[in-house]
């Protein structure tokens, strides 16, 4: 039996990270449909699962590989964005962020210093803000 499956799977694409995510989402949708009894989630779950099985069985390995690569790139950019946001949130406790009125450059100033004159590091424009 195992050999049969192995022979069946040779030359086919198989599972990847995008596939794992698709499977994960479809399981979540299945659970939602169980608890809410909304058919739409059940249909979506089946659709996603079907699509992932189609990807796993696919012989167009290069194409599936490209799909996964796109997905991995997107995931990476999302993680970078998320980390930036987290860092910004952490810093916003002790810093104020202002945008330079003439060149839109972000400027970081410490909080609680009263009215201060900020000089833009990029275009040297001066503007007054409360910190």
The residues that touch Zn ion, with contacts defined as CB under 5 A, are: 100, 103, 105, 120, 122-123, 125
In whole angstroms, what is the distance from residue 82 CA to residue 92 CA? 15
* Least gap, CB of 98 to Zn ion (angstroms): 10
Count how many residues are written for the chain.
131
- Decide whether 84 or 122 has the Cβ nearer to Zn ion: 122
Considering beta carbons, is residue 78 or 123 the nearer one to Zn ion? 123
- Containing 109, the helix (H) or strand (E) segment is strand 106-110
Closest distance to Zn ion from the beta carbon of 67 (Å):
42
Are residues 67 and 56 in contact, defined by beta-carbon separation less than 8 angstroms?
Answer: no
Min separation Cβ 80 and Zn ion, Å: 25
The secondary structure of 4-45 as a DSSP string is: HHHHHHTTS----HHHHHHHHHHHHHHHHHHHH--HHHHHHH
What 8-state DSSP symbol labels residue 59? S
Nearer to Zn ion, 58 or 131 (CB): 131
Minimum distance of Zn ion from residue 101's CB (angstroms): 8
Nearer to Zn ion, 70 or 99 (CB): 99
């Amino acid at each position: 039996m195992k050999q049969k499956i192995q022979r069946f799977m040779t030359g086919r694409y198989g599972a990847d990270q995008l596939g794992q995510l698709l499977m994960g989402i479809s399981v979540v949708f299945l659970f939602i449909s169980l608890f809410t009894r909304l058919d739409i989630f059940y249909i979506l779950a089946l659709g996603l699962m079907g699509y992932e099985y189609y990807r796993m069985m696919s012989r167009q390995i290069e194409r599936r590989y490209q799909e996964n690569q796109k997905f991995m790139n997107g995931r990476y950019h999302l993680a970078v964005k998320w980390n930036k946001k987290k860092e910004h949130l952490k810093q916003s406790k002790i810093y104020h962020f202002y945008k330079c009125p003439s060149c839109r450059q972000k400027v970081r100033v410490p909080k609680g210093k009263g009215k201060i004159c900020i000089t833009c590091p990029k275009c040297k424009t001066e503007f007054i803000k409360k910190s």
